[in-house]
């Protein structure tokens, strides 16, 4: 996965938007005003920080050297994924989707419905 594919994946979800609250080099991907992914897309070492359930976050860190505690984020809830080819593109895509779903699940029901989220009862 390269930076263009990463950006496209993050923006592929309903209601996803790219913002730059930390300056022009750091892309922050949000849904409903809440961040689900963060990346410096033009960095030499491509990485993306993603929200994760705490137990799963620890399990992923234990299983993959390319998954580390979230850089400058709450390390209990955020992982930083180093995109160096050691993880499959599918695994990275799944982690991005899980982060999006986790954020969307915390939004008000009306917003969830507006985005057509399938996680609603």
What are 79's two structure tokens?
């992982």
What are the residue ranges spanned by the domains of the chain? Answer: 3-114
Task: Tell me if the domain spanning 3-114 has CATH number 3.40.1280.10.
Answer: no
Which pLDDT score, from 0 to 100, does residue 64 have? 95
pLDDT at 42 over 80: yes
Q: What does the alpha-carbon distance between residue 101 and residue 66 come to, in Å, rounded to a whole number?
A: 22
Question: For the segment 81-116, what is each residue's pLDDT rounded down to a tens digit?
Answer: 999 999 999 999 999 999 999 999 998 888 888 888
Which residue has 């955020």 as its token pair?
Answer: 78
Which pLDDT score, from 0 to 100, does residue 119 have? 64
Question: For the segment 60-85, what is each residue's pLDDT rounded down to a tens digit?
Answer: 999 999 999 988 888 889 999 999 99
Which pLDDT score, from 0 to 100, does residue 19 have? 97
Which residues are CB-neighbours of 31 under 8 A, at least 6 positions away?
13, 14, 15, 16, 17, 100, 103, 104, 107, 115
Whole-prediction pTM: 0.91
């Amino acid at each position: 996965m390269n930076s263009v594919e990463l950006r496209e994946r993050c923006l592929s979800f309903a209601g996803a938007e790219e913002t730059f609250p930390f300056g022009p080099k750091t892309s922050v991907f949000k849904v409903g005003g809440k961040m689900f992914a963060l990346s410096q897309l033009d960095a030499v070492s491509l990485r993306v920080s993603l929200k994760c359930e705490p137990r799963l976050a620890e399990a992923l860190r234990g299983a993959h050297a390319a998954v580390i505690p979230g850089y400058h984020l709450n390390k209990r809830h955020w992982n930083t994924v180093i995109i160096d080819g050691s993880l499959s593109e599918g695994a990275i895509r799944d982690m991005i989707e899980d982060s999006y779903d986790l954020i969307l699940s915390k939004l008000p029901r009306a917003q969830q419905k507006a985005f057509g989220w399938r996680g609603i009862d």
